[in-house]
Chain A
Amino acid sequence: MKQGFRQCMAWLHTWSGLLVGWILFAVFLTGTASYFRGEISDWMRPELHAPAAGGEPAILAIETLKRLAPDSPTWFVFPPGERNSELRVVWRNPPGKPTPPGSRGFGNMVLDPATGEPVTARESYGGEFFYRFHFQLHMPPLWGRWVVGFCAMMMLVAIISGVITHRRIFADFFTFRPGKGAGRSWLDAHNALAVLALPYHLMITYTGLITLMLMYMPWGVQAVYKGDRGGFQAEVFGVAPPVRRANQPAPLAPVGPLLEEAMRRWGGPPGRIEVQQPGDASAIIRLTRRDSEQISSNPQTLTFDGVRGTLLGASGEPGAAAATRGVAYGLHLGRFASPLVRALFVLSGLAGTAMVATGLVLWAAKQRHRHARAGRAGFGLRLVEALNLGTIAGLPTAMLGYFWANRLLPLHLADRADWEVYCFFLLWGLAALQALFWPGLRSWATQFAAAALLGLLLPVLNLLTTHRHLGVSLPAGDWAMAGTDLLVAAFGLLLGLLSWRLFRRAGRAPVTRPVRGAGLARAEGA
């Protein structure tokens, strides 16, 4: 029975991993890129400069909001932080006022941190695109999140069943048999990548589910609070419901002293400033601590009277479960991480991506090995091989192409930000077409080569199209710019090495292909 149990788990591991593997690969890779969400956004708006000496950005932003959105019931100010130079303001449009479709009733603007004036940077979603994609796949949010949630659940099952299947979990950690046939080396690579970062894989999958748990599992809130989501949030986070407007005009208190108070308590500036009912006697100002200063994502807030500027209250200590959820959420986002920890998170994320990729290739390698004798690849195998090529090689190509689109599209193109995304999908579509019609080792090699060129030449493109190339950004310590250039180029180098190996292998493989749809597995099985 014991042996039987392990066989069942092996079967479950194979199928739960294979069926959603391509989506998991995309989620892992775009999710890993999201660790650089702020840096990528900065890179994609080279017109924005690092904060120059000037007034306090948050105070300037409040002054601008007084002009931009005097009737708004709520303003939000996101001051520039250590890792991004963007000063963003968001405001809720007054009810009853027509708003552009898709804005969900919010206005949104990037300001120059030195002057507080709206800046005219190129339109781009920046790193936000990868971040959104990793949990909603560019689908309608509700659909996308359910699809990703389902895949994350499959991932969790695949991880647990994989660990059960894997008897030699410690020994295999040190086992790598490159060049052995029949997918042996793919299996070793898959095992090593999985075991190496197993705690990370488990953590990132479970905490990912927790970030959207109230959507996936609303039943507890439903039963206990009878669907009163607001009441639940208030009890968990100590966030008071929005204040009601008194309809008595009153000037807003100066924000400067409140920022000093936050500085005194937290030792750092707030990461978010919320003003409710500005210009009214009922106004309140709430400061939220920066999420880079603690692991937990539970907000630490200070709430002030918006007219007198007196402190009304501070968020209390959360309960054990709320603290657990906050830490889980914070671990998933990884914004607390110092550069070294962040580097480990990124490497683990890449290991997870490669684990999914090797798992998919491994399945195809084993099938191909068996089919080699039958002489013809079945539909299932050909489908998996096309999806493997189109996803594992196609997605990095498309992601790097997104960076190129940001620099190459005309600056004043209508819907420019959307066009960048169209370019991403266009490239991905081309990669998928190549995978469908020209499967085989050579296509793997050429796609990785294309991606490698896109990555390696990105610093050159940046040199040709902006004034913030490496020659400028490195001496200036402009890390968002220089770091993105260098990391993308390093990623390109990695893909280049892969491509080089594949070309060499393709050169050794026979040119005439007796079996239609030969994939990576060919050379492995040979």
Chain B
Amino acid sequence: MQDAPALRHGWRPSWAVGRIDWRRMRSWHWPGVLSRSLAAVLGGYAVAALAATALALWLPTSRAEAVLTGTMLSFALYAGAVLWVFAAASALRAWVGLLLPAALLGALVWLGGGAG
């Protein structure tokens, strides 16, 4: 997968350098951006949904409270996942960084009996 375009070219916001070099922006590697966008929107949602479910199943409170806590927190986790995806050094790292917690959370959900 492609490196983050922003990092490869050292692109800085225009207010940091005065102006944007458009030719460099043109040469962005769109597969990398597309891959990250998919990871952010779909992968981020999957991680958030799994986290909400795992918290709902495992938090040591009443089940209604656990469900509410997990569901309310999930949006913050979603936002965190999106930030991670676009901050990671490469699109590949971004995906791996999502899939590892997803696998862990998935295992927790499975153990908690939420999958059946």
Contact = CB atoms under 8 A, between A and B. Distances in A.
Nearest to A159: B79
B87 A8 contact: yes
A14 interface: yes
A453 to B, nearest CB: 37
Contacts of A321: 61, 64-66, 68-69, 72
Contact of A220 (B11, B20, B55, B79): B55
A311 interface: no
A153 B75 contact: yes
A325 B7 CA distance: 39
B91 interface: no
B65 A320 contact: yes
Interface in A186-231: 187, 206, 209-210, 213-214, 216-217, 219-225
Contacts of A491: none
B11 A221 contact: no
A239 interface: no
A325 to B, nearest CB: 5
A5 B6 CA distance: 10
Contacts of B64: 232, 235-236, 319, 321-322
Contacts of A8: 4, 6-7, 86-87
Contact of B67 (A161, A224, A324): A224
A209 B73 CA distance: 11
Contacts of A366: 14, 20
Contact of A232 (B13, B50, B67): B67
B63 A235 contact: yes
A7 interface: yes
Contacts, number: 134
Interface string B1-32: 00010110011111110011010000000000
A14, A161, A224: most-surrounded residue (chain B CB, <10 A): A224
B67 A157 contact: no
B72 to A, nearest CB: 6
B48, B79, B115: most-surrounded residue (chain A CB, <10 A): B79
B79 A213 contact: no
B83 A12 contact: yes
Contacts of A9: 83, 86-87
Contacts of B4: 8
A325 B68 contact: yes
Contacts of B71: 213-214, 217, 220-221
Contact of A4 (B7, B56, B83, B115): B7
Interface residues of B, number: 46
Contact of B82 (A157, A187, A216): A157
A364 interface: no
Interface in A304-352: 319-322, 324-325, 328
A206 B66 CA distance: 19
Contact of A157 (B50, B53, B65, B79): B79
B43 interface: no
Given A157-B83, A219-B49, A321-B69, A224 B13 contact: no
Interface of B: 4, 6-7, 10-16, 19-20, 22, 48-50, 52-53, 55-57, 61-72, 74-76, 78-79, 82-83, 86-87, 109, 112, 114-115
Interface of A: 4-5, 7-12, 14, 16, 153, 156-157, 160-161, 164-165, 182, 187, 206, 209-210, 213-214, 216-217, 219-225, 232, 235-236, 319-322, 324-325, 328, 366, 369-370
23 contacts: A4-B7, A7-B7, A8-B86, A9-B86, A9-B87, A10-B16, A153-B79, A156-B75, A157-B79, A160-B79, A206-B75, A217-B52, A217-B71, A219-B52, A220-B52, A220-B68, A224-B57, A235-B62, A319-B61, A320-B61, A321-B64, A321-B65, A322-B65
Given A9-B86, A221-B56, 17 more contacts: A7-B10, A182-B19, A213-B71, A213-B75, A217-B52, A217-B74, A219-B50, A221-B71, A222-B53, A224-B63, A321-B61, A321-B64, A322-B64, A322-B68, A325-B68, A366-B14, A369-B19
